[in-house]
Amino acid sequence: MRKTRLTAAIILLALAFSFGTGLYAGVSERGNSLVGAATVTITNITSGTQAPVGVDAEEFWRAWGLLDQNFVKSSASSTVPSAQERLWGAIKGLTESYEDPYTVFLPPQEAKEFQEAVSGSFSGIGMELGSKEGVLTVVAPLKGTPAERAGVQSGDIIAAIDGIPSRAMKVDEAVRLIRGERGTAVDLTLERDGKMIEFSIIRDIIVVPILNSYRKGDVFVIELYSFTETSPALFQQALREFFASGSTKMVLDMRDNPGGYLEAAVDMASYFLPVGEPVVTEDFAGLSAQAGKQPNVVHRSVGYNVFANKKLSMAILVDEGSASASEILAGALQQHGKAVLIGERTFGKGSVQQLFDLGGGAQLKITMAKWLTPNGSSISDGGLKPDIDVKRTPEDTAAGRDPQFDHALTWLASQ
C-alpha cells in the first residue's frame, strides 16, 4: 500500500490553484499532510468486490444488455461508448449518487493529470476553489497571482468557465477547465452580491507566497499566506524577530490563507501550547462500525511552548478565505485561550479523503473523515466564528481601508 499526504490545497494549486480537495501522497506512512477540503491516501483495493446483501446486480447487467442490444445513434456526431467507457460511466454515476463534492471518480487520464499536479509544476491563475452548500466557490485568491491581480475575491461564485455553466460543478472538474498553458486566457463569469462579473485572466506559473513580518508601532505582525514544507522554519524565524523586538503584542494575519500541510499547522501551534495538547482530530465517527475503518487520530502539540513564561497578547485575523490548515491553527489557538479571532467566519473546509487505485489507471477519491477542533467542533460545519466580528467590504479594500486590522490594533492597545 502506498501512502502519502498532501491536500487539494497544493495539488490543485497548479491546476486552478485549488487547495480544496486535499490529498495523501508520499513515501512515508504518514508523510507530510496537506489539509484542505479533503486529505487523500493512495490505496490499492483489496476488498469490497462482492455485491452487498440485498442488491440485485442483475438489474445493472440487464440495463447494460438492453442498451447494448437496442441503442441506435441519433446523430452522425454521436458515438457509441466502448465497454470500458460504459464501465467508467457506471462508476461515475455510482460516485455522484453520494452527492459529496469531494468524492470523485477519476478515469485514467484525469487520474494521471491529478498525480502530475501533485508532483509537477503547472500554470494556473492562483485561486483556491471549494464547494459551499453545493455551489462552486472561490475560497481565496493567492497573494500576487493573476487571480488576485484581476480582482477575484473570496466568496465569489463560479458561474461559468469559458462559457460553460459551472455553479454545480465538482471542484476537480472546474480545476481541469481552468488550468492550461502559461500565457493563455481563461474566461470566468463570477457571481458577487447577486451581480455577474466577467473576467479574462491570463494563466501563469504559480509561486505560493508563504510569510511576511513587520512592526506596526509596538505590535509585531506576521502575515501567513500558506502552509508549505518551509512555513514552520519561516514562522520560527519570525518568532525570533518578535522576541528580539521586545514586543508583547502580535497580529497573526491568516486572511485568504487556503491552508497547506497539516504538519506545518501542528508545528506552529506547538510554539504556543504545552506538549500533548490537542491541535486537531481526524474524526471517523459514524464510520467506525464498518469493517476496515480506523479509530480517530488526534494530532497533538510537540510542546515548544515558547511563551510559557512570557507575556503575549495575540489577535488572529480570519475571513471567508481562511481555510483548512488556517482553520486548524486558528481554532487550536482560539480554543486553548491563546488568541482572539477577529474578522469574519472562516470557510469551513474540513473533510478528509482517501484515494483508491481501481486498476487500469483509474482512481476513486472518497471522503472518509472530518477535522475536529480541540473542543470537538467540526470545521466543516460552518467554519470558525470569530470572537470579534468585523467586516471588510469591497469598498474598504478599494479605498485601502482595513477595519479588521485596525480593530486588532485597538484590541491589542487595550490589553
Question: Cα separation of 370 and 350, whole Å?
Answer: 5
Give the residue among 176, 107, 1 at the shortest CA–CA distance from 359: 107
Q: Are 202 and 146 in contact (CB under 8 A)?
A: yes
Higher-confidence residue: 56 or 18?
Answer: 56
pLDDT for the residue numbered 209? 78
- 235: enclosing H helix or E strand: helix 231-245
132: confidence class by pLDDT, cuts 50, 70, 90: confident
What are the residue ranges spanned by the domains of the chain?
A: 126-205, 211-348+371-413
Q: Which residue has the cell 471549494?
A: 130
393: left (phi over 0), alpha (psi -120 to 50) or beta: beta
Classify strands 351-359 and 42-44 as parallel, antiparallel or unpaired: parallel
109 pLDDT more than 90: no
Question: Cα separation of 315 and 147, whole Å?
Answer: 28
257 pLDDT more than 90: yes
pLDDT for the residue numbered 57? 86
408 pLDDT more than 50: yes
- 58: enclosing H helix or E strand: helix 58-70
pLDDT in tens, 334-347: 999 999 999 999 99
Average pLDDT over residues 84-113: 89
Question: Cα separation of 340 and 338, whole Å?
Answer: 7
Average pLDDT over residues 357-365: 91
Q: Which residue has the cell 508583547?
A: 248
134 pLDDT more than 90: no
pLDDT for the residue numbered 131? 86
Cβ neighbours, 10 Å, residue 226:
28
* φ, ψ for residue 21, nearest 5 deg: -110, -20
Four-way CATH pick for 126-205: 1.10.8.10, 2.30.42.10, 1.10.3720.10, 3.40.50.2300:
2.30.42.10
Q: Are 70 and 43 in contact (CB under 8 A)?
A: no
Q: Which of 71-75, 204-208, 223-227, 292-296 has the lowest mean pLDDT?
A: 292-296
Q: Are 166 and 159 in contact (CB under 8 A)?
A: yes
Question: Cα separation of 352 and 20, whole Å?
Answer: 11
Average pLDDT over residues 301-326: 96
Class of domain 211-348+371-413: alpha beta
32: left (phi over 0), alpha (psi -120 to 50) or beta: beta
Mention every residue, 6+ apart, whose C-beta is less than 8 A from residue 161.
Answer: 169, 174, 177, 178, 186, 187, 188, 189
pLDDT in tens, 17-55: 333 333 332 222 233 444 443 334 444 544 455 677 788
Average pLDDT over residues 361-389: 93
pLDDT for the residue numbered 38? 38
Average pLDDT over residues 145-172: 92
| pLDDT above 90: percentage of residues in the chain | 56
Average pLDDT over residues 361-374: 90
394: confidence class by pLDDT, cuts 50, 70, 90: confident
63: left (phi over 0), alpha (psi -120 to 50) or beta: alpha
pLDDT for the residue numbered 48? 55
pLDDT for the residue numbered 2? 31
Mention every residue, 6+ apart, whose C-beta is less than 8 A from residue 80.
Answer: 71, 73
pLDDT for the residue numbered 15? 31
Question: Cα separation of 24 and 369, whole Å?
Answer: 13
293: confidence class by pLDDT, cuts 50, 70, 90: low
* 3-state DSSP assignment of residue 408: helix
365: confidence class by pLDDT, cuts 50, 70, 90: confident
pLDDT for the residue numbered 49? 59
pLDDT for the residue numbered 173? 87
**Residue 313 Cα distances to 166, 225, 274, 317, angstroms:** 44, 21, 17, 13
C-alpha cell at 225: 499566506
State the average pLDDT for the chain.
84
What is the reported pTM?
Answer: 0.76
395: confidence class by pLDDT, cuts 50, 70, 90: confident
Please state at what angle helix 58-70 crosses helix 83-96, rounded to 10 degrees.
130
